[in-house]
Amino acid sequence: MGKVALITGVTGQDGSYLSNFLIDKGYTVHGTVRRSSSINTYRIDDLISKYQESGKFKLHYSDLLDSSSLNTLIQSINPDEIYNLAAQSHVMVSFKNPVYTTQTGNMGPLSMLEAIRYSEKDVKFYQASSSEMFGGSEKVSLNEKSPFDPKSPYAASKVFAHNMTKMYRDSYDLFCVNGILFNHESPLRGQTFVTRKITRALGRIVLGIQEKLTLGNLDASRDWGFAGDYVEGMWKMMQYNTPDDWVLATGETHTIKDFLSIAFSLYDLDWEKYVITSEKYFRPNEVDYLLGDYSKASELLDWKPKTSFEDLVKLMCESDLELAKKDKVLLDENLITPTWEHPLSS
């Protein structure tokens, strides 16, 4: 009989890729969703249509801030592995909503750790940590032993959850791992994140329905990988013989200008003619440079990134060009009005 996994944040980018990966491995996957008046399952609609009837993929209403519902859910599902991917994950938003960001980022993991602590079953727990915890104050390669220096409410909440996961592991002999993932992108990335904001706008610019793109700090440098590669790393952490903390990264760092240059050059465009900057997109406390060292995961988990930076940019651009074509059709038929910045009428 296959294993059972519970994924919080299943409707997000990582939740979608991880669900597909685990189902391919023979798992039954349960995911949590919050009750909402708007439907937000577009990333997992294919999974619902393919696997919900057979029971291989099941959704449950739950909330990270409702510890009793999480407890009940864990007891009823009786999972072998729990992957906690749910959080308010946008750094800029965390400055505007620090209380909610902290509540979900802190109480959710803590409630699950408590439930696992009292479970009759040995449940493995994965906590989604973040490279934002490091702060990026110096231009150095960062690994599992590098000190944390959080520069946002989001990062601070991740440090708390990371440390609580370690504490429960050490205090109660639980199989709890922290996955410190550096930036990982895909066509399923949220459209307010800078990489997706670029590729979404570029598709519309190519088709003549957007004039400009407004961004913030173009010199920020990140270690960007492909989300589909990283979920395999998550799973490998959970299969290792002992629980630990792990960095997943590419070992390369690129600026937002680099991303723009590669993306726009795919369509023979000069990004500097289309991109403008605005102070409103600058963070109150910038993280200028992040570079990860994944040598531990490479040596012990036999994990390494498979997708190059250039291929990642191309993948996202091609996907968002197809979405832009749909936008243009709807626009030409007067079925929508532009909701994006700097629209151009066709």
Q: Which residues are catalytic?
A: 130, 132, 154
Residue type, 345: S
Is the C-alpha dihedral spanning 273, 274, 279, 282 positive or negative? Answer: negative
Compute the residue count for the chain: 346
Q: How far is CA 318 from CA 46, 155, 187, in A?
A: 20, 31, 9
Q: Three-state SS string across 104-149, please?
A: HHHHHHHHHHHHHHCCCCCCEEEEEEEHHHHCCCCCCCECCCCCCC
Contact indicator for 116, 164 with CB cutoff of 8 Å: no
Contact indicator for 211, 343 with CB cutoff of 8 Å: yes
Cα 280 off chain centre by: 23
H helices of the chain, in order, are 13-24, 45-51, 67-77, 91-96, 98-117, 153-172, 194-206, 227-239, 256-265, 295-300, 309-332
Q: Cα separation of 233 and 227, whole Å? A: 10
